[in-house]
Structure 1
Amino acid sequence: MIVAPGSASLENLQAIMQGEVLDLPAGWQAPVEASVGALAKRIEQGEALYGVNTGFGKLASQRIGSADLAKLQLNLLRSHASGTGALLPAPVVRLILALKAMSLARGASAVRPVVIEALLALLRADVLPAIPAKGSVGASGDLAPLAHLSLVLIGEGEAMVGGAVVPGAEALRRAGIAPLALGPKEGLALLNGTQVSTALALAGLFTARMLLRTALASGAMSVDAARGSDTPFDPRIHALRGQPGQIRAAAALRNLLEGSAIRESHRTGDTRVQDPYCLRCQPQVMGACIDQLDHAAQVLQREANAVTDNPLVTAEGEVLSGGNFHAEPVAFAADNIALAVAEIGALAERRIALLTDPALSGLPAFLVREGGLNSGFMIAQVTAAALASENKSLAHPRSVDSLPTSANQEDHVSMATGAALRLVEMADNTAGILAIELLAAAQGIGFHRPLTSSPVLEAALALVREQAAPWDEDRLMAPDIAAVKRLVERGAFAQLAEGI
């Protein structure tokens, strides 16, 4: 897949995570080589250039002699590789490598083409640096995690090869890649940037979109299970408000429910005037989530194509110190994704609670006959409540936090990396909630037989039934939840609401 630096689409980025190999178009080296030449001239003139012939952070006033410039970059990589925690997953590391290569290839970072080629070679060979997940505050770049990545380029650190973690030198040897000797600024350019937080946030975005589509399918199933009305999804309602996400969500719910015999059976004679909010207000809540995710997608696509290191070298040869490494846009985007993921799960949990309450659903208590002898979905709803509650705590904005670093030189930071990291746990919780709703809604629809739901929702029900039999009497619930959750995570139900 050939992608010009600065022009990657979200589809390109998702494909890279899934294993697609990145190539750059012919001629990409020219602006890169020009920036290297421009920096070399400034060094020859004896100027003090941050991170090139000075120390870093609070040590920027310390000049470094020309004989030590290469050692300066090497020391930077070694000292900054101070991450901790579990390793980032392979798809995220693939995306980090690609984002870093495309950023440097914009020609504003003064790194030689060989550095970019080495990053692309790692990606092509699926040699993935072992990067501890924690240790970045999302300002001055994702320094610690990018240092772990960069060590592999020089034959140090560790990398994942074929599922095993091996020394960096061994990983390069197996792939036939020569270790780099870093030139002026190259270590700094590799470490400075928002590629880790951006890749994590993009991974969270792609998962959140899948969960949202799944929740539209499970929510539509719950409408039929509770014999709810589709009037709240009438396009005239949503046109009068004009919120684009809301209009799209309502259309999706109409499409999912179209052709339901269950719905037709209670168009007349139903004494209920309005359904509870968890059914009736799905377009408003899910639509707001759609809009949040769309905005986050725009921010993250821009960031994925950006140059975010420091200092930058202009086409005219100027060296500019700035702050593009500050990941505040990513932090806000990740926080907004977290809000959407939390709300997707919270609304689904309320639908589960409705289905298990006979006063609201008209179904047997806890969706099982012979209640009392059987507890049915009683504790499955409790599990969903626990997961939804946990997500509420995790959704607290990380971007409002800041701790000064580097002896107060770096006195405001974004916490973007932590903001994006927590999306993994939140998505896992929401996938569990949606699995429980799919099981509960399938059980509820079963009580309306021989009436059928819509063709699309019957297909969703069939997917559930391939993993879990109807609940006739109490049995182990956890295996059923786990089996359906695996389907959720693979996007099996999200495919039924494509286009959102």
Structure 2
Amino acid sequence: MTGLTEPTGPTGPTGPTITITTPDALDAAAVRAVAAGARLHLDDALLAAVGERRAAAVAALAEGAPAYGVTSGMGALADRRLTAEEQAGHSVRLMAARAVGEAPWLEQPESRALVAVRLRTLLHPESGVSADLCARLAALLGRPDPLPPVPRTGNGAAGEILPLAHAWADLAADGLGPKEGIALLAGTPLATALALLRAEETRVLAHQAVLAAAGAIAVAGVPHDPYRPELARDDDVLAGVLADLGRRLGDAPDPTLRRHLQAPVSLRVVGPVLAAVHRAATALEDAAARALCGVTDSPAFLDDAFVGTPGFHGIDLAATAAGARYAVVHAAAVGAARVHRLLDPEVTGLPAQLSADPGPQAGLTPLHKRLVGEVRAVADGGVPLPMETSQGQEDVQSFALEESERLRVALGAWRTVLAGELLAVHQARLLGAPVPTALQPALDEVAAVLPEGADDRPRGTDLAAISALLAAGWSSPAPPAAGR
């Protein structure tokens, strides 16, 4: 793979060691901690229980029990019975033939999350893998060198066998026992891991968006009527967003100084838009929780027999990722619209286009054009159509990984829009717009990464600086999830 871009991000453990005593202990919080650099230690009693199930699975195979992908070929070749000699090396061969991906690769935190989720599923009784394999997976998270590159796109399989074949290259090279190859390739561990990371990223951006929107509301000097907490009634999610917004805004502007009785829609709908984002993140987290607990092996070792399952079909994860992307793209579009409103002196009472010298200087109109382009680039998207593969054996796909990637790109676009909105608020502040006291420390942090002055300059550099500030957790840690 010479010349291909290597995965980026932290390459080794940087956090604490988490002891796992039951499969359930490797929950969403633990997976996210592993992504951030934590190590895992598997309790001896847990490994002993895994070993007992492994012994039962091996005994069943020795008695001649048929098992898809263990005693047979895969896909359209599932009816081909393997000889004892062929079965011996089958787990390793499964990886080599399916490693057909290439760059772009997952970032290392994403790969670490994948290892953690895969380990969670292998610790379930129905996996039938060895305690040694589970210990080797845990050991991967403690080594200082990078995990193997895993492609983030190009998965046209019914499950995730293509990227997973890359993920376990090192394990396969060191040898795998019967059923361990198919167990490593089964289920939706990557979509599950990415769902957990994307949901957290979505919540952080939603929290940051409250501050950006509060800044825009303050600059526009619009009435605070749409942000009254009682408008939420029994909607706890909306109530949480409005309460956060209210804390940032402080007192409403003097009615005698208002320029307009009613604000443009983009400024009025902050609460419902961000509440929808929080709900979408919750749905994604819930789908990931179901996947963590579900039976994902196929075949699964249940009641001392190997049975086929549909646990590889990640429609739950795909649908919730698509729903989150819809909410995120809408939030980005609304944010870009707010920036456009801030360029209008009829809305803000500030110089046209937030220019330090309207006419000779353009101000932020070019910035708004950039934000419109960002939104347009992620606005398309429908339901992916299934296509037959494996000679018709796989005649439908969920495309959960592709939906996760589209969500990741949409989140990146929203972060750019938020950076643009904060840049517009900063520029308005330089031009004399007042901002609430509660917002000033956060906006001071934005100002600290920007050059001084309000004159025209290449604003792409400004956007990049604020985007990096957001990605580093500006204004974080986020408050508890609204309505949770």
Fold match (TM-score > 0.5): yes
Q: Which moved more, 1:318-327 or 1:422-431?
A: 422-431
Is the CA contact (8 Å cut-off) linking 1:211 and 1:494 kept in structure 2?
Answer: no
Aligned pairs for 1:27-106 (under 5 A) are 27-106=45-124
Matched, 1:135 2:154: yes
Is the CA contact (8 Å cut-off) linking 2:378 and 2:413 kept in structure 1?
Answer: yes
Is the CA contact (8 Å cut-off) linking 2:416 and 2:463 kept in structure 1?
Answer: yes
User: Which residue type is aligned with residue 460 of structure 1?
Assistant: A
Is the CA contact (8 Å cut-off) linking 2:65 and 2:305 kept in structure 1?
Answer: no
Distance of 1:351 and 1:10 partners within structure 2? 35
SS of the aligned residue for 1:462 comes to: helix
Matched, 1:340 2:327: yes
Distance of 1:52 and 1:496 partners within structure 2? 46
Matched, 1:287 2:298: no
SS of the aligned residue for 1:28 comes to: helix
**Two-structure CA RMSD over aligned residues (Å):** 1.9
- In structure 2, the gaps of 5 or more residues are 1-17
Matched, 1:311 2:299: yes
From 11, 19, 36, the counterpart of 1:2: 19
From 194, 206, 222, the counterpart of 1:200: 194
Taking a change above 3 Å as real, the CA distance of residues 351 and 138 of structure 1, as seen in their structure-2 partners, is farther
Aligned pairs for 1:172-183 (under 5 A) are 179=174, 181-183=175-177
1:459 corresponding residue in structure 2? 441
Distance of 1:489 and 1:430 partners within structure 2? 11
1:25-54 Cα shifts (integer Å, max 9, x gaps): 341123322332222232233232211111
Instruction: Report the CA distance between 1:200 and its aligned residue.
Output: 2.2
1:226 corresponding residue in structure 2? 220
1:486 corresponding residue in structure 2? 468
Q: Which moved more, 1:480-489 or 1:2-11?
A: 2-11
Instruction: Report the CA distance between 1:419 and its aligned residue.
Output: 0.9
2:242 corresponding residue in structure 1? 250
Distance of 2:421 and 2:452 partners within structure 1? 14
Aligned pairs for 1:59-458 (under 5 A) are 59-127=77-145, 128-137=147-156, 139=158, 141-155=159-173, 179=174, 181-239=175-233, 242-258=234-250, 263-264=252-253, 266-270=254-258, 272-314=260-302, 316-393=303-380, 396-398=381-383, 400-448=384-432, 451=434, 453-458=435-440
1:67-90 Cα shifts (integer Å, max 9, x gaps): 221222221111111112222110
1:270-305 Cα shifts (integer Å, max 9, x gaps): 352211111111111111111111111111122234
SS of the aligned residue for 2:40 comes to: coil
Instruction: Report the CA distance between 1:192 and its aligned residue.
Output: 1.1
Q: Which moved more, 1:210-219 or 1:41-50?
A: 41-50
Q: Which moved more, 1:267-276 or 1:377-386?
A: 267-276
TM-score by length of structure 2 reads 0.91
User: Which residue type is aligned with residue 131 of structure 1?
Assistant: V
Distance of 1:313 and 1:10 partners within structure 2? 25
Is the CA contact (8 Å cut-off) linking 1:213 and 1:498 kept in structure 2?
Answer: no
Taking a change above 3 Å as real, the CA distance of residues 136 and 31 of structure 1, as seen in their structure-2 partners, is farther
Give the number of aligned pairs.
463
1:179-208 Cα shifts (integer Å, max 9, x gaps): 2x2211111111112111222232222221
SS of the aligned residue for 2:255 comes to: coil
Distance of 1:397 and 1:124 partners within structure 2? 40
Q: Which moved more, 1:342-351 or 1:242-251?
A: 242-251
User: Which residue type is aligned with residue 424 of structure 1?
Assistant: R
- In structure 1, the gaps of 5 or more residues are 156-178
Instruction: Report the CA distance between 1:437 and its aligned residue.
Output: 0.4
Instruction: Report the CA distance between 1:423 and its aligned residue.
Output: 2.5
2:6 corresponding residue in structure 1? none
User: Which residue type is aligned with residue 326 of structure 2?
Assistant: L
1:415-452 Cα shifts (integer Å, max 9, x gaps): 01111122232222111111110010122234446x5x
SS of the aligned residue for 2:138 comes to: helix
User: Which residue type is aligned with residue 363 of structure 1?
Assistant: L
SS of the aligned residue for 1:50 comes to: coil
Taking a change above 3 Å as real, the CA distance of residues 408 and 95 of structure 1, as seen in their structure-2 partners, is same
Instruction: Report the CA distance between 1:478 and its aligned residue.
Output: 1.6
2:15 corresponding residue in structure 1? none
1:452-475 Cα shifts (integer Å, max 9, x gaps): x33331012101210224653212
Distance of 1:499 and 1:421 partners within structure 2? 23
1:172 corresponding residue in structure 2? none
2:12 corresponding residue in structure 1? none
Instruction: Report the CA distance between 1:115 and its aligned residue.
Output: 0.7
User: Which residue type is aligned with residue 297 of structure 1?
Assistant: E
Distance of 1:219 and 1:68 partners within structure 2? 62
1:239-280 Cα shifts (integer Å, max 9, x gaps): 1xx33322111111001112x5xx44x233535221111111
SS of the aligned residue for 2:23 comes to: coil
Distance of 1:492 and 1:183 partners within structure 2? 47
Distance of 1:227 and 1:199 partners within structure 2? 42
Taking a change above 3 Å as real, the CA distance of residues 356 and 492 of structure 1, as seen in their structure-2 partners, is same
User: Which residue type is aligned with residue 308 of structure 1?
Assistant: T
Q: Which moved more, 1:424-433 or 1:211-220?
A: 424-433
Is the CA contact (8 Å cut-off) linking 2:91 and 2:182 kept in structure 1?
Answer: yes
SS of the aligned residue for 1:133 comes to: coil
